[in-house]
Structure 1
Amino acid sequence: MRFTLSSTALSSKLIALSRVINSKNSLPILSDFVFEVEGNTLKLTASDSENMIKTSVELNESDEDGSFAIGNHDLLEAVKGFSEQPLTFEVDRSSNLAKIVYQNGQFSLSIESADEFPQALQVGEGASTITIGSDLLGDCINRSIFATAQGELRPVMNGLYFDLTPECLSIVATDSQRLVRNKVFAVSSDVPASFILPKKPATLLKNMLGKDVSEVTIRFDERNAEITFDDCIIICRLIEGRYPNYNAVIPLNNPNHLTVDRVALLSALRRVQPFASSSNLVRFHIENSVLQLDAEDYDFSKTATERMACDYNGLPMSIGFNGSSFIDMLSNFECQDIVIQLADPSRSGVLVPSEQPEGQDVLMLLMPMLLNE
């Protein structure tokens, strides 16, 4: 079997596929890329057994159809260093070798039978479907994924929750201390449906989705999801279980509203937070039109205080927040001004942009920390 294709086209596809491959695999063949030639199209596949990515690239020429598996590391290291040029694969399945010929040389790698590669997970015929813009989905994932949990105690929190209702699609992440909820009003369904997307395929999507107007189609059932965009398909196993009632923890009315420049607050927190103790506690004191940030670590005799102007319409208040978590939240907004909605020092604070993105409702929530007065 012999075929020729662009080196840069192959390299970009293999780099994207390599992100799904684990450094250690239960099956040795999961360290391979699968190459499948059909006519003038090369189909490429990589998997870690629970997540699979499929993509394709056009061939300049090919003499026959066929398939094989080839180790990812050596091939990727070789082809990603090439400038744009044609690469010719000469595959001899009788000797299990693939010779790759380029302008100034060649190299050979061993191959395996593609028949040993695990089959893709299947999504049932009665699957639900979501269609959403690539840029919109990418924004929601970027904005939310930091708030997913990492522990084994409640695995349902280790992914993003997609909640499809007659009103909208909500994309939610929480680790019980912080929560992000994105409402997308352009996507809805008369028949409610939901699923929990694990963090790894969500991260793959975040890295692969483009900032364009193309669409992403997500088909899902109770166990698996198939996500199609551009010339790629991600097939993954979903997290099974019941997601927490996230709406129940969002306050309906926090009467004290603090409006402040997001970038200025983010910069101030980054200066103050390193002076906090191991708990990362930063004290927010708001009175009149002044926000004061305080951090202290008496074990190492260090403290920090910074004041900044704000717009505040509530009673004087001191409330403690995890400085690192607050920085994460501010970093994942894109607005100029942020509105912090507060009730009292024992209740969660809600962060919303001063102007919501078009067609969306974005909200972040952070539980307070106990202050030692």
Structure 2
Amino acid sequence: MKFTASTSTILKQIQMLNGVIPNNPSMPILENFLFEIQGGLLKITASDMHTTIISEINVEADADANVAIPARMLTDTLKNLPEQPVTFSIDFDTYTIEIASDNGRYKLAGENAEDYPSNPDIAMSSSLAMSAITLQDAIGYTLFATSNDDMKPNMNGVFFNFTEDHSDFVATDSHRLVRYRRNDIEVSGMMEPIILGKKALTQLKNILPADETNVSLEFNDQYAVFTFGTMRLISRLIDERFPDYENVIPLNNNNLVTLDRQALLGCLKRIVIYANKTTNQVRFKIQDNELFVSAEDLDFSNEAKERLFCEHDGEDLEIGFNAKFLIEILNNISSDRVTLRLSEPGMAGLLVPQDQPDTEDVLMLVMPIMLHNFSY
């Protein structure tokens, strides 16, 4: 059996699927792409048993066939070939695949497609649609704040909570929390919230187009399916209870500090160099319309101080934060100016972009660190 397609066409598809291929798979066959050809349509599947991505392209084929092809060898081969048509010949007695190009011929050992795990046959209970750029933004704002702690599986992903009033995308690692809210996603009726894992969302973010392409999301209590263009991603959900994030967000943070995002980001990147490497603690001292940022490492007698001008509405305040968390938050905000909403030294601070579209509401929370006794 033979089929033909251009190197760039196949390479583009398998590169989008490559991130799913596990390094140490539970089943050796998962190191392969599953190729299924029917009626001139090639369906390529990659899976790690938790996340599956399927892509479809048209090829010239002389018959229908299924085979599993080693992912790394195929990717490396096509990456190093110039743009040209290539012909795949499959020997189903030995599952040998030969790739013929203008440059030469390459043989690699495939496997029986019947050994590849089949996709779950699942009935979906809920569905909605949103643009790819909306989903990109939702993932981009939240993914960095998910937890890496295996002992907190409910925080190892992003919480999707759809209501008729608004749609929330939330992530937390217990030290910080991000809530990205949209009011332009059409939701009809009650939908149960879901938690999508970090790896699945990372892969989804990598393959989503950065435009208004329509994305269909279907889900039940076990799986979520994203479909757009010729791509389909199936992810097993995290079956845990997400923290009650609304009760964590303080309502009385009326001490407001507004300043240039890049100025604060640059300041923190410099100051953290001199902070304790375990806590990364920086001190914010707010007086009138000035923000004094300082850090010290007593073990090495390192110390740094800077002053930033700001717009301040509230009482003078001193509060400590983990600079690394603030830097990550600021790196994931696009607004030129940001507002810190504070209350007391022991209470969580909120950081929000000053410029936001009417369709979205971004709120980022960071827990404070108890200050030492040194002063600016």
The bucket for the TM-score relative to the shorter chain is: over 0.9
Work out the CA distance in 2 between the residues paired with 1:138 and 1:121.
26
Q: Any unmatched runs of 5+ in structure 2?
A: none
Identity among equivalent positions (%) equals 39
**Preserved CA contact (<8 Å) 1:281 1:320:** yes
**Preserved CA contact (<8 Å) 1:166 1:192:** no
What are the Cα deviations for residues 196-255 of structure 1, in whole angstroms up to 9, with x where unaligned? 000000100111111111011111111111111221111111000211110001112211
What are the Cα deviations for residues 121-156 of structure 1, in whole angstroms up to 9, with x where unaligned? 23324x111211101111110111110011122211
1:70-81 equivalent positions in 2, closer than 5 A: 70-81=69-80
The 3-state SS of whatever aligns with 2:203 is helix
Which residue is equivalent to 1:248? 247
**In the alignment, residue 73 of structure 1 is paired with which amino acid?**
R
Which residue is equivalent to 1:303? 303
**In the alignment, residue 121 of structure 2 is paired with which amino acid?**
Q
In structure 1, which of residues 148, 151, 168 is the aligned counterpart of residue 149 of structure 2? 151
**In the alignment, residue 150 of structure 1 is paired with which amino acid?**
N
1:162-201 equivalent positions in 2, closer than 5 A: 162-187=160-185, 188-201=187-200
Work out the CA distance in 1 between the residues paired with 2:245 and 2:138.
17
Q: Which moved more, 1:362-371 or 1:116-125?
A: 116-125
Which residue is equivalent to 1:98? 97
Q: CA deviation at 1:76?
A: 1.0
Q: CA deviation at 1:92?
A: 1.2
1:138 aligns with 2:136: yes
Q: Which moved more, 1:351-360 or 1:331-340?
A: 351-360
Q: CA deviation at 1:356?
A: 1.4
**Preserved CA contact (<8 Å) 1:121 1:235:** no
Work out the CA distance in 2 between the residues paired with 1:146 and 1:169.
19
Which residue is equivalent to 2:46? 46
Which residue is equivalent to 1:114? 113
**In the alignment, residue 74 of structure 2 is paired with which amino acid?**
L
**Preserved CA contact (<8 Å) 2:255 2:342:** yes
Runs (4+) of structure 1 moved beyond 3 Å?
none
Which residue is equivalent to 2:212? 213
Work out the CA distance in 2 between the residues paired with 1:67 and 1:301.
66
Work out the CA distance in 2 between the residues paired with 1:249 and 1:104.
62
Which residue is equivalent to 2:229? 230
Which residue is equivalent to 2:64? 65
Work out the CA distance in 2 between the residues paired with 1:160 and 1:121.
22
The 3-state SS of whatever aligns with 1:226 is strand
The 3-state SS of whatever aligns with 2:325 is helix
Work out the CA distance in 2 between the residues paired with 1:155 and 1:82.
42
Work out the CA distance in 2 between the residues paired with 1:117 and 1:225.
21
How many residues end up aligned between the 2 structures? 371
Q: CA deviation at 1:312?
A: 0.3
**In the alignment, residue 24 of structure 2 is paired with which amino acid?**
K
**In the alignment, residue 147 of structure 1 is paired with which amino acid?**
A
In the superposition, the TM-score normalised over structure 1's length comes to 0.97
